[in-house]
Amino acid sequence: MKILVAVKRVIDYAVKVRVKPNKSGVETSNVKMSMNPFCEIALEEALRIRESGAAKEVVAVTVGPAQCADTLRTALAMGADRAVHVDAGAAPVLPLSVAKILRALVQVEQPGLLILGKQAIDDDCNQTGQMVAGLLKWPQGTFASKVVLDKEKQVATVEREVDGGLETLCLDLPAVITTDLRLNQPRYATLPNIMKAKSKVIKKVTPEELNVEIKSDLEVVQVTEPPKRKAGVIISSVDELIDKLKNEVVSCNILVSEDHD
């Protein structure tokens, strides 16, 4: 079985995000970029499935500009067998367009399993996995915290966390799975594997070659930073605290002075 894993290049989780002066988006120039953490988990799970003998090949795929090749190099260094880069240019690609591209790639690659991170930390859309499952008409298991494959029965058992506890789904393959944080701990790429990944060939295709039209149904009007937290108010008595809670709409922290009995 072949496993297709979608990965995304995002601003590194440790970087403080800055809004552009014209408020058209966030600043990405001269900013450290890395693989989306949920995508790392998805790739790690695919590699573990291959290592268990339930799959023979792991193919990493990404959609975006030329710089996304660095993310695929990371995937190859972690252990992916092949990589496919869909060069969609510098313009943002929304989840529905990504889902259509992944559907086209699935038709070309014919994988038995498609694994994605449940969401990307840049837009937090949490839509692509569900959309591509709908387009493919494949069963889906979202927010997976445990995945078990039975290659003889061609069935995947997915355990997922819900409000009331744990839910277990049994999916006929091929299927789409999106990964949650507790599924696994991604491995680090070793230096020898990083050096080997630099010489590996990354297959490049365009949306046009996949017969996918990229269009945006969403217009970003303005991007602004959240309001700064206001200073706290120090009060001298419990009576004053009760009065403020009853009569004022307080949007800042209220601190009771420590020297009050």
Tokens of 153: 């029965």
Whether 18 is in a domain gets the answer yes
* Among the ranges given (83-92, 159-168, 248-257), the one the predictor scored with the smallest mean pLDDT: 248-257
On the question of pLDDT at 257 being above 60, the answer is no
Examine the domain organization and report whether 11 and 116 are in the same domain.
yes
Instruction: Give me Rg for the CA atoms of the chain.
Output: 23
Kindly state whether residues 240 and 128 are assigned to the same domain. no
**Residue 210 is assigned to a structural domain of this protein:** no
Residue appearing with tokens 């500009």: 65
Q: In this structure, is residue 217 part of a structural domain?
A: no
Dist CA 176 CA 259 (whole Å):
59
Token pair 């969403």 is found at 218
Q: Is 204 helix (H, G, I), strand (E, B) or coil?
A: strand
Residue 70 lies in a domain: yes
- Assign residue 161 the CATH number of its domain: 3.40.50.620
Q: How much of the chain is helix, strand and coil, in % rounded to 5?
A: 30, 30, 45
* Residue-wise pLDDT tens digits, 116-145: 999 999 888 999 999 999 999 999 999 999
Q: Are residues 195 and 248 in the same domain?
A: no
Q: Using CA atoms, how far apart are residues 118 and 245, in angstroms rounded to an integer?
A: 40
Its pTM stands at 0.82
pLDDT tens digit sequence for 157-198: 999 988 888 999 999 999 999 999 999 999 998 999 999 999
CA-wise closest residue to 24 among 222, 180, 230, 156: 222
Q: Does residue 231 sit in the same domain as residue 176? A: no
User: Do 248 and 175 fall into the same domain?
Assistant: no
Domains contained in the chain, number: 2
Amino acid at 84: V
Signed CA dihedral, 180, 182, 183, 184: sign only: positive
**Do the domain assignments include residue 234?**
yes
Residue 220 lies in a domain: no
91 and 24 in a single domain? The answer is yes
Quick one: 189 and 258 in the same domain?
no
Contact 166, 158 (CB under 8 A): no
User: Rounded to an integer, what distance in angstroms lies between the CA atom of residue 9 and that of residue 93?
Assistant: 12
Separation of alpha carbons 41 and 237, rounded Å: 51
- Other CB atoms within a 10 A radius of the CB of residue 104 amount to 18
Neighbours of 80 (CB within 10 A): 25
| pLDDT of amino acid 229 | 81
Give yes or no: residues 136 and 246 share one domain: no
- Domain membership flag for residue 221: no
Provide the pLDDT for residue 236.
Answer: 86
163 and 115 both lie in a single domain: yes
Burial class of residue 161, CB neighbours in 10 A (0-12, 13-18, 19+): middle
Point out the least confidently predicted range of 61-65, 165-169, 256-260.
256-260
The torsion defined by the Cα of 196, 198, 199 and 200, in degrees rounded to 10, comes to 90
Domain boundaries, position 247:
227-261
Q: Rounded mean pLDDT of 103-128?
A: 92
Q: Decide if 179 contacts 42 (C-beta within 8 A).
A: yes
Residues 180 and 242 in one domain: no
Q: Which of 42, 39, 29 is nearest to 7 (CA)?
A: 39
Q: What would the two tokens of residue 202 be?
A: 């990354």
166 shares a domain with 61: yes
Mark whether 95 and 174 lie in a shared domain: yes
Q: What's the token pair of residue 227? A: 């309001």
Region 9-27 average pLDDT:
86
**For the chain, first and last CA: distance in Å?**
70
Residues 65-93, mean pLDDT to the nearest whole number: 91
Asked if the model's pLDDT at residue 239 lies above 90, the reply is no
Model confidence at 252: pLDDT above 50 = no
